[in-house]
Amino acid sequence: MASEISTVKTIAQISDETRNFILVAIVIAKSDPRFFSGHLKGRGAFETDTAETLHQTARGVFTLTLRDSDRDTINCTVWGKADTIVHYDSTFEIGDVVEVNRPQVASSMFGRSEHYSPTVTSPYCLTINDQTQVEQITRHEGPAQELQQFKALLKVPLVQPNETIPLADIVASGSGCNGETFNLLVVVRAVRAKRDIRVARSNQIKSFREVILMDCSHAGVLMKFWSDSYIRWTEQWLPLKTTLLIVDARVEFNAYYKTICLAVDRKTIITQDPIVPQLTKLLNHAKTIPTQDIDVVCSLSSGSVDPSTINTVMTVQQILDRTEGDLVQEEDQFTACCYAVLTRFDLDGSSRIVSERCVHCRTLVREPNARCPKYECPGHTAANARERFFDITVDISDHTGTLTGCRMVGQVAETVLNCDVTTFVRLTDAQRTQLKWKYLLDRCAVRLIVKRRSAVRFQNLYSIVDCAIADPAEVEAKLKVY
Ligand SMILES: [Zn+2]
């Protein structure tokens, strides 16, 4: 009854007997609302209604996960008319401090819904059946200092870092852990643009955003965000700066990328920039990783694999089958020795042969006379902090096909051409043509590292680590028909 006096309780004070109270807490997770209607026969209870029927008959439900101390968390499930739920969903976001007025208390021990809600510390769950005229969830207007105390809870970790598992372990298990949930401590590597797709069944447009996450064990795993709240939230995340502690991230095997991806589950809670000591190590690691394809090619061709160990002979077709076709495996990298002819080696044409990078951090500098694009790098302020390096795109062909866009960069190209980059830029066109014809159309033993297209890489990367004119006898002995 509205006339009864409500008292303010904390999550820890809630018991079976607690009635007529107000809870003040911060929202740390919010489920997507689900709408349903009893009038339409033969439909699943939780199936999303179309927009036309939504406001007439439909009801809805969504869950807020609330926190009011370092320790205490509780779920609050709100049932109501569809428009009430839509209103609540658009009004309250993760990070808002709210007042929950006169919720019902139930033990969550027997509640089925707890299986589908975030794991919380309270043995109780709150329910609001929004039947009254008065709004039962409102924004809390307290003194600034009090609000600050609640906001600080957003960074308090819900699990300890030793309860998280490395991304590499999840990736290694592949499709084996499809559908399971794990705790992760990661740094955001890239935030991709929001995209829209049309859902075939309902013909509605749905938006999603892909975010690439990394940790010290793995360079990148893709996580998909579907709800509007998350899409808005991810917009604020900064690559290589924002860290996330994700409780109960759901693992899904992605058939397109042939690797595991992550998704937000109904149990998932994300803590942005959590206060844990491991962050320093994670962020320092993030600074060292190559971020552009060219960096990856450079690090591949600068000694991570000894070319003399690459002896698995493959034809172009076999390489293609392993990158794109039927033989794709879960590892994202393999090596191959391919006896092939260089069919594009445009040393004397208009193709880019030489690029420039920052001498301090090796970041690619594309604009002429520009400085290093990284603000924190000494090369950003210093003049003449650039160096030239070979950056050659090569096509190789054999009797089975052509591998286009292989990269031959840096030291590898200098060795192959027997010419350093400083000497090369001084060569005349005629001399460059002469250099080209030393290789063009002759059969070479080309040793490659192939990095497959993946969730974090848009294109396959064929990095040449060695290329030498092949002895015809060797070719004849090793060349494969297929
Ligand atoms: Zn730099």
Tell me how far the alpha carbon of residue 376 lies from the centroid of ligand 1, in angstroms. Answer: 8
> If DSSP codes are grouped into helix, strand and coil, which group holds residue 28?
strand
**pLDDT for the residue numbered 164:** 95
**pLDDT of 304 above 80:** no
Q: Which amino acid is at 137?
A: I
pLDDT > 70? residue 114: no
Query: Residue 120 and residue 126: Cα distance in Å, rounded?
Result: 12
Cα 47 to averaged position of ligand 1 atoms, centre (Å):
52
Ligand 1 centroid – CA 378 distance (Å): 6
Distance from the alpha carbon of residue 364 to the mean position of ligand 1, in angstroms: 8
Three-state DSSP class for residue 473: helix
> Is residue 47 predicted with pLDDT exceeding 60?
no
Phi, then psi, of 38 in degrees rounded to 5: -85, -10
What are the structure tokens assigned to 100, written together? Answer: 């929950």
pLDDT in tens, 350-379: 888 999 888 888 788 877 777 887 777 888
**Ligand 1 centroid from CA 352, angstroms:** 21
Mean pLDDT (whole number) for 420-440: 90
Beta-carbon neighbours within 5 Å of ion ligand 1: 358, 360-361, 363, 372, 374, 377, 379
Ligand 1 centre to CA of 454 (Å) is 27
Which has more confidence, 108 or 191? 191
CA–centroid distance, 358 to ligand 1, in Å, is 5
- CA angle in degrees (0–180, nearest 5) for 356-358-364: 55
End-to-end CA distance of the chain: 82
Distance 463 CA to ligand 1 centre (A): 23
Q: Where are the alpha helices (DSSP H) in 367-428?
A: 410-417, 421-426
pLDDT tops 80 at residue 300: no
Separation between Cα atoms, residue 174 and residue 143, nearest integer Å: 50
Cα 383 to middle of ligand 1, angstroms: 11
pLDDT tens readout for residues 165-215: 999 888 888 778 888 999 999 999 888 888 888 887 788 888 999 898 999
- Give whole-number Cα distances, 161 to 108, 166, 184, 247, 326, in Å: 27, 10, 8, 11, 39
- Residue 143 has a CB neighbour count (10 Å cut-off) of 8
Q: Is the pTM of this model over 0.85?
A: no
Ordered structural domains, the chain, with CATH: 7-153 (2.40.50.140), 161-288 (2.40.50.140), 293-478 (2.40.50.140)
**353 C-alpha to ligand 1 centroid (Å):** 21
